[in-house]
Amino acid sequence: MEHIILRDLDIPDLKEIAVYEKHGGYQALRKAVKEMTPDQVTDVVKASGLRGRGGAGFPAGVKWSFLPKGVFPRYLVANADESEPGTFKDREMMERNPHQFIEGIAIASYAIQCHHAFIYIRGEFPYAAQCLEKAIAEAEQRGYLGKNILGSDYHLQVVVHRGAGAYICGEETALLESIEGKLGQPRVKPPFPASVGLYNKPTVINNVETLCNVPVIIERGAEWYAKIGTPKSTGPKVFCLSGHVNRPGNYEAPFGSISFRDLIYDFGGGIRGGKKLKAILPAGASGPMVSPLANEAVMDVKLDFEALAPFGSLLGSASVIVLDEDTCVVWAAKKMVRFFEHESCGKCTPCREGTYWMSRVLERIDDGVGTLADVDLVASVATQIQGRTLCPLGEFATSPVLGSVKIFREEYERHIKEHGCWARK
């Protein structure tokens, strides 16, 4: 299986620009700037079917075309605030192949005709930030960034902006607030960033993996790229596999080509200690869990953006966390909800209060002092949050609760009847 996004990662010193150039680096940027107009670049990305890899799956080229004509300045922001539990693909790409990311930024910036791009990187990624800053300096020296890129009249400045560790800043408008030096809280939408974004100017926000797909699309063409994957989910996807597996890591495969069974048992080497599989979190903590105990068919569905909808879940950014048979689902739900409670910015009352009360009720059940009514109570609180917040964080916080109660209600009731966790006795 050919690697496209994770290709060449095993090449020594790939972080160095000379090594990256030796393996075809920056040829796509050269082609874009010297042979194509900005609109042609956008049209190629549209035709490729590239969808955002940050979780929402919105078509990247369509997002670029939303910017109002003739309004300047405009900005590109690369969202590298990878804070989702179970997600670690962007970090590896930035640390091991930063120039691929920088080249994607440069091409996307040329396509939307912006002259300033920002990389908003998670504060806990100091080494990745250093790799990017070094790569930017090298690219400027080679003429791939800065004034008159590759002899053209196009210029671009790229800045690395380090976050302060707030998960909420992965939400695109909270991210913009943070860059502007404000408190990282979501904005009311509309207006959307495409029209009123960074510094109230038109702004495109793309994920790291999304931008890493752009050079190969320009290099090999939209038709070639669109043949990879499925008609609705084109191209390759990097799957983050973690939890109770023998070989956790990042694995690349075309959309629609592998199942959970393939990912866990072929790529991941199976469940640790030879134990049985209990549940899967397809989108990390942000999506409802699925389980072969509830529906064995989920193990063999070919994974793409739409595949998990019939099972009441979603792929998101493909941060797949595997739970074995000895995992206490109530404990796992409590830990995930506690994360969202801690990371809530507090702006929306349903999220601020709802995550607090879900966390308290789950603690009560896990500690063995809950009642059977608490199971319905925590699910009711979760449903009161849904659809009532400015950003998806509150919605995400309900997933561990609603997914686990739906599939493992008997385990909740066992906690209550036995006054504690069976797995820790």
Q: Which DSSP symbol is given to 272? A: G
Q: Which residue type sits at 264?
A: I
> In the prediction, which pLDDT does 421 show?
82
> In the prediction, which pLDDT does 1 show?
62
Dihedrals phi, psi of 226, to nearest 5 degrees: -65, -20
Between strands 75-80 and 116-121, the pairing is parallel
State which H helix or E strand residue 75 sits in.
strand 75-80
Would you say the C-alpha torsion 35, 39, 42, 48 has a positive or negative sign?
Answer: negative
As a whole number of angstroms, the distance between CA 94 and CA 238 comes to 14
Closest CA to 21 of 115, 194, 138, 123: 138
As a whole number of angstroms, the distance between CA 350 and CA 23 comes to 51
- Omega before residue 191 within 30° of 0, cis: yes
Residue range 132-146, pLDDT digits in tens: 999 999 999 999 999
Contact at 8 Å (CB) between 131 and 101?
Answer: no
CA atoms within 13 A on the CB side of 64: 32
> In the prediction, which pLDDT does 133 show?
98
> In the prediction, which pLDDT does 425 show?
61
Q: What is the per-residue burial (b if ≥16 Cβ within 10 Å, else e) of 91-117?
A: bbbbbbbbbbbbbbbbbbbbbbbbebb
**Among the residues of 83-207, which ranges form H helices?**
89-96, 98-112, 126-142, 172-179
> In the prediction, which pLDDT does 18 show?
97
> In the prediction, which pLDDT does 103 show?
98
pLDDT, the chain, mean: 95
As a whole number of angstroms, the distance between CA 405 and CA 393 comes to 19
> In the prediction, which pLDDT does 250 show?
97
> In the prediction, which pLDDT does 126 show?
96
Residue range 186-241, pLDDT digits in tens: 999 999 999 999 999 999 999 999 999 999 999 999 999 999 999 999 999 999 99
Contact at 8 Å (CB) between 285 and 334?
Answer: no
- Spell out, as residue ranges, where the chain has pLDDT lower than 50: none
Q: Where do we find the tokens 């590298």?
A: 80
What structural domains does the chain harbor?
Answer: 17-226 (3.40.50.11540), 236-324 (3.10.20.600), 329-424 (1.20.1440.230)
